[in-house]
Amino acid sequence: MVLAAAVAGRVLVRRLLRRVGAISGDLAEINVSDEHAQIAQQRDPQEVTQLVDNINASLDMLDRERQFASNIAHEIRSPLAGIRVTVEEATSGPGEADYPRVLEAVLRGVDRLEALSTALLLVARSRAAQADWERIDLCELIRQEVADRNDPISVEVVCTPGVEVTAMRTRICQIITNLLDNAQHHATHQVQVHVGRSGCNARLAVSDDGPGVPEKDRERIFDRMYQLKATSQRGGPGTGLGLAITRDIAKAHHGTVWVEPSPLGGACFVLQLPIAAP
C-alpha cells in the first residue's frame, strides 16, 4: 500500500513538472511586444491553476502598461507637432506672421505638455513609497481644501460630523483635488460635496450640474488616458489621468470610487473608504 502511494505520488509529481515545464515554454515564446498574450488554462490541480491565474494577471498588467506608454507618446507628440507646425509657418514668412497668435498657439501647446508632465509625476508618486498613515476627519479636510481653492463656481459642502478614516493625508488631498477639478471643469452653475457614512464606510460625494457621464463610459473614464468625447464646459481637454490616479489611491486605501447620476443633473463621483477603527 505504501509502495502504491509512492508510485502514485511520483506519477503526480512528474505530471506537475511536465505541466510547469509547458507553462515555462509558453512564457518563453511570448514576445515583449505581443498584445493580450495569455497562458491557456487546462484541467490542472488548484495550485497550478492559481499559478496560471497569477501569470495571466501579470501579463494583463504588462499589456496595460504597454498601452499606457503608447498613449502617453501619442499625447506628447500631438502638442509638439502643433508647436512645430505653428513655428514653421511663422518662420516661412516672417514678415507676414501674426506673432501674438503664434505665441498663443505655442503657449497652448506648452500648457498641454506641462499638464501631462504634472499628471505623470502624480502617477509616479502614487506608486512611490507610502506616506504616513493617520486618523483624518474628512469633514475638516474637505472644508480646508475647498477654502484653499479659488474656484470659479462656489462649492457647497454638507457634512456629517465625526466621519474619520485612517489614511495618507497627501493621497486623500490628491483625490479631493482631482474630484473638485473634474467637477469645476464640467459644472454649469453648481458643485456640491457631501460627506457622510454608509454602513461601515465613509462616503465622500462630489456632484455637479454638468452634462454627466453616459452609462457606457462610467467605468472606462477610470482607465488611464481615456477621455470623454463631449466638449467640456470650461478649460481645455484634461490629461485623462486624474480619475485613474484617484482610483489607484482609493484602492491603496482599501476603498473604491465610482460615478453615478447626480441629483443636480450632472455627474456624482463617490469615494468610499473604511471608517477608522474606534
Rounded Cα–Cα distance for residues 194 and 207 (Å) = 8
* 168 & 265 share domain: yes
Q: What is the mean pLDDT of each run of 10 residues along the chain (278 residues)?
A: 56 65 69 67 74 76 69 72 82 76 82 75 62 89 93 94 92 91 92 96 96 91 75 58 85 93 95 93
Q: Check residue 189 and give its pLDDT.
A: 93
- Residue 193 pairs in a beta bridge with 157, 206
Whether the Cβ atoms of residue 275 and residue 202 lie closer than 8 Å to each other: yes
* 123 & 171 share domain: no
Domain CATH number, residue 260: 3.30.565.10
Rounded Cα–Cα distance for residues 19 and 10 (Å) = 14
* 155 & 119 share domain: no
* 117 & 202 share domain: no
Domain-terminating residue out of 99, 128, 157: 128
* 139 & 251 share domain: yes
Maximal CA-CA distance, the chain:
99
* 241 & 196 share domain: yes
Q: Check residue 15 and give its pLDDT.
A: 67
Q: Residue with C-alpha cell 493580450?
A: 36
Q: Check residue 263 and give its pLDDT.
A: 92
* 162 & 235 share domain: yes
Domain-terminating residue out of 104, 128, 152: 128
Q: Check residue 49 and give its pLDDT.
A: 78
Domain-terminating residue out of 98, 128, 158: 128
Name the residue range of residue 45's domain. 1-128
Q: Check residue 10 and give its pLDDT.
A: 64
* 45 & 140 share domain: no
